[in-house]
Amino acid sequence: MRVERTRRVGPLSLLLAILLFGSLLGATGCGDENEPQGLGPLSASVFPDGEGPFTSFDLFANAWANYPVGTTPPTFSYSWTCSAPGGPCPGFAGPYTTRTIPASDTTKEDVWEVTATAAFGTTVIGPDAASITIINSKPVVVVDPITNRRPNCPNDAITVVATGSDADDDPVTLTYVWTVNNVVEPAATGDSLDCQYFEVGDRVRVSVQPFDGEEFGRIEFSNIVNVRPPATALASPAESPSTATASASSTSAESDETALEPLARIGLRSVSPRPDALDVTEANACHIDAQGAIACTGETAHGLTEPPAGRFSQLALELDYACALRSDDASVTCWGDPVDDVGQLDAPSGAFAQLGVGSTAACALGLDGAIVCWGEDADGLTSPPAGAFVELDVAHSTGCAMSADGAVACWGRAD
């Protein structure tokens, strides 16, 4: 922050400060009746000394003066001027005489100076002045959840949608860093990761950092994608993808569960356009918006309509509790007020790729493919099978998981 200060001497002390999002202080009397009339020198300062000001900040001028007790407080007047590198600020038609300069009038590298005077009746004290320079705003980026978990290799790719912006309207460039199983792929520098870099069962993630030509902004991470077989691989080899989809829908209507294997057992949610971003119960509904925040509606009795803050990539609901997977560190967070609190909210630490919730227990799929469950083990739901899996779903007291070769294992209540 560059600050210009000017000091002058006058009969009363007039201190002028430019405040950023500060409270506006009025003129106050101080001292006692025997206090002398002349209290110079005049001075100017800038507050606060922290980060800023940016183009998103309003500028506030504040002045006050000491005056004898029992006298009328002074009236203050303000005059703003603006200069930019190489000349006057573009579009500036000042001087402005308001106390506030709105953020919409400021531009990066503007130097704003305000001069104030204090009038005691016909006597004018001052002027005093202070100045401040608008500094560069760091760019930001929003990373949408990756939804293509079933790339149709070898000619497909996993793609992330990231949008950079800058409060100063500076052009923003984005840097992508892709990792596969926590190992950086240095040759992958764009918004897509080709099939040559991963296989089914790998865990893929990307970080994105914005740059505005002067400063780098905060790094944002995508959700962790556990690569799954293409949707066509779940159909019978004799069927085309479109035929398999039609067959599954038709058979479901006829209640023929055998024809839906393994689709029915792993959960139809897994082939939705945005997997696990929406879930409903008979009393509540929750979804993850474009910014990764959770929003819930419905009954409030069990606290489901008060989800945790943050950015999430997946969620799963039960009647009286819910769990979600955070985008930043892939950890699990649960909330709610279960009727039978048997540890459903006590999610384990660690990073996970997928989760599911049952009536009194919940499970999550670790980055190594292992399944971890917590809560009540009355029906055996917290005792999942060993091994490495690529997909998981849980309902009531039963859990099912699929391995990379398409084999499905289920556990929990059998009837």
Cα→Cα distances 164→54, 58, 209, 286, 390, Å:
18, 23, 9, 27, 32
Question: Which residues make beta-bridge pairs with 391?
Answer: 402
pLDDT at 259 over 60: no
Low-confidence winner among 11-15, 302-306, 375-379 (lowest mean pLDDT):
11-15
Extract the tokens encoding 67: 């005056």
pLDDT at 234 over 80: no
Low-confidence winner among 64-78, 97-111, 228-242 (lowest mean pLDDT):
228-242
SS3 state at 43:
strand
Q: Give the pLDDT band of residue 332 (cuts 50, 70, 90).
A: very high
Q: Which residue has the higher pLDDT, 328 or 38?
A: 328
Q: How far apart are CA 371 and CA 363, in angstroms?
A: 7
Q: What is the mean pLDDT of the chain?
A: 76
Residue 20 near residue 53 (C-beta atoms within 8 A):
yes
Q: How much is the average pLDDT of 212-224? A: 89
Please give the model's pTM, rounded to 2 decimal places. Answer: 0.47
Q: How far apart are CA 212 and CA 221, in angstroms?
A: 19
Extract the tokens encoding 344: 């459903």
Q: Give the pLDDT band of residue 378 (cuts 50, 70, 90).
A: confident
Q: How does DSSP assign 277-341, residue by residue?
A: SEEE-SSEEEEE-TTS-EEEEE--TTSTTSPPSS-EEEEEE-SSEEEEEETTT--EEEEE--SS-
pLDDT at 143 over 90: yes
Which pLDDT tens digit goes with each residue over 268-300? 333 333 446 888 888 899 999 877 899 999 988
Pinpoint the alpha helices (H) of 38-163.
Answer: none
Q: Give the pLDDT band of residue 75 (cuts 50, 70, 90).
A: confident
Question: Which residues make beta-bridge pairs with 15?
Answer: 43, 64
pLDDT at 364 over 50: yes
Q: How much is the average pLDDT of 216-238? A: 72
Q: Which residue has the higher pLDDT, 328 or 169?
A: 169
Which pLDDT tens digit goes with each residue over 85-122? 888 888 888 788 888 888 888 888 888 888 888 887 78
pLDDT of residue 347: 93
Low-confidence winner among 119-123, 168-172, 290-294, 346-350 (lowest mean pLDDT):
119-123
Angle at alpha carbon of residue 345, lines to 343 and 351, rounded to 5°: 110
pLDDT of residue 232: 54
Low-confidence winner among 226-230, 254-258, 306-310, 400-404 (lowest mean pLDDT):
254-258
Which pLDDT tens digit goes with each residue over 15-24? 444 444 333 3
Q: How much is the average pLDDT of 75-79? A: 85
Extract the tokens encoding 323: 């769990």
Q: How far apart are CA 336 and CA 32, in angstroms?
A: 60
Domains by residue range for the chain, with CATH? 3-133 (no CATH), 140-226 (2.60.40), 261-412 (2.130.10.30)
Residue 360 near residue 396 (C-beta atoms within 8 A):
no
pLDDT of residue 52: 66
349-352 contacts, C-beta under 8 A, 24 or more apart: 351/224, 352/224, 352/325
Could you tell me the maximum CA-CA distance found in the chain, to the nearest angstrom? Answer: 103
**Radius of gyration, alpha carbons of the chain:** 31
pLDDT at 210 over 70: yes
Question: Which residues make beta-bridge pairs with 324?
Answer: 315, 333
